[in-house]
Amino acid sequence: MKISKNIYQLVAFLLPVFVFGQPLFDKANQLYTQENYAEAAKVYEEILSADQHSVELYFNLGNSYYKLNKIAPAIYNYEKALLIEPNNKDVKNNLKFAQNMTIDEIVETPKVGLSEWIQDFTSVYHYNVWAKIAIGFSFLVLLAFIGYYFIHRITLKRAFFGLAILFIMGSALSIMIAIFEKNQNENYNPAIVFSESVAITGEPKTGSKTVMLVHEGTKVLLIETLDEYYKVELLNGTEGWLLKSSVKALK
């Protein structure tokens, strides 16, 4: 009952999208092929403004901006695409081209240690996927319990009992990982610098000492916010404050 209801909802959602989004996407692609990049970007943006998106949409929009030599919007849209699909090769490839145009070269400091290894592992799946894995374990628990409960041979019974315990732990662990991932995800707030150049200062006020000057297209991680300032961390570990208006958050 519930599933079918969900499907109806899904169909109801998707229906206008197919009617509205797809033709616009094709139209924009055509404009892009005709090298009318400005118009293409406009049409892609139109789809986005209707609260609809896809990896390819962001990718194509990024390409349009790259062709228009607009560094920050190009990088912004590629990063947007990578948020949905972190390992898309085409997006990564073109992002490199766009990053070539940026002025800053911020080398990401490699993180090492156990916590990093754990993070690498947990980030293999999105937290929604981890939630589904937890449900899978939950069903396995049921199966193992049935085995344990209805089979009378003592060795098998023991084996099933052990399995059930294992699956319970697996489910609990998956949920924990999902919560951890969700947390990580919420704390990961990347943003792209849109101002031509902006000073990262030591304190959130005008006239504070400049720690570093960053330029258009550079990726920063937002940590805190105060008034019209963001506390940010660069990929090389530098921390400081910058004006909110100079960056655009990816989330």
Partner 1 sequence: MKRIAYIVFLLIAQLTFAQVEFTAKLSRVKIGLNENVRVEFSMNNDGDNFQLPAFENFRIIGGPYQQVSTSIINGKRSYNRSFGYNLQPTKKGVLTIGSASISINGQTYKTEPIELTVTDAVQRPNDTTEQLIEPDESVHLVAQVSNRSPYLNEPITVLYKLYFKEGLGIRNFTATDNPEYNDFWSHNIETKDYQTTSENYKGEAYSSVIVKKVVLYPQKSGKLSLAPLSMNLALEVPTNRRDFFGRRVYTSTNSKVSTGITNIDVKALPENGKPEDFSGAVGTFDFKVSTNKTAVRQGETIEMDVVISGKGNLELFGLPKPIVPSALEMYDPIAKKQISVSLSGMSGSKSDKYTIIPQYQGKYIIKPLSFSYFDLDSKSYKTINSEEILIDMIDGPISSGTQVAESANHMSKENPEAQTQFKFIALKTNIKPMKSEDFLFSRSFFVWLFLPLLFIPLLIIGKRKKQQIDGDVVGNKIRATNRLAKKYLAEAKKNQKDKQKFYEALERALHNFLKAKLKIETSEMSKDIISEVLTEKKADPTTIKDFISLLENAELVRYAPSLASSVDQDYDKAVKTITQLEKQIK
Q: Which two tokens stand for residue 121?
A: 């592992």
- Looking at beta carbons only, is 108 or 227 nearer to partner 1? 108
User: Count of residues for the chain?
Assistant: 251
- Looking at beta carbons only, is 135 or 165 nearer to partner 1? 135
Nearest distance, CB of residue 205 and partner 1, angstroms: 18
- Looking at beta carbons only, is 103 or 156 nearer to partner 1? 103
Q: CA 117, CA 129: separation in Å to the nearest integer? A: 19
Nearest distance, CB of residue 48 and partner 1, angstroms: 8
- Looking at beta carbons only, is 118 or 183 nearer to partner 1? 183
106 membership: H or E segment, kind and range: none
Which residues does 8 contact at the CB level (< 8 Å), separation at least 6? none
Nearest distance, CB of residue 117 and partner 1, angstroms: 22
Q: Summarize as ranges the residues that interact with partner 1 (CB under 8 A).
A: 2, 6, 13-14, 17-18, 21-22, 25, 29, 32, 47, 51-57, 59-60, 63-64, 66, 69, 71, 90, 93-94, 96-97, 99-105, 127-128, 130-132, 134-135, 138-139, 141-142, 145-146, 149, 171, 178-179, 182, 196-197, 215
Nearest distance, CB of residue 203 and partner 1, angstroms: 20
Q: CA 217, CA 104: separation in Å to the nearest integer? A: 8
Closest CA to 41 of 82, 73, 79, 88: 73
Q: How many CA atoms lie within 13 A of 15 on its CB side?
A: 6
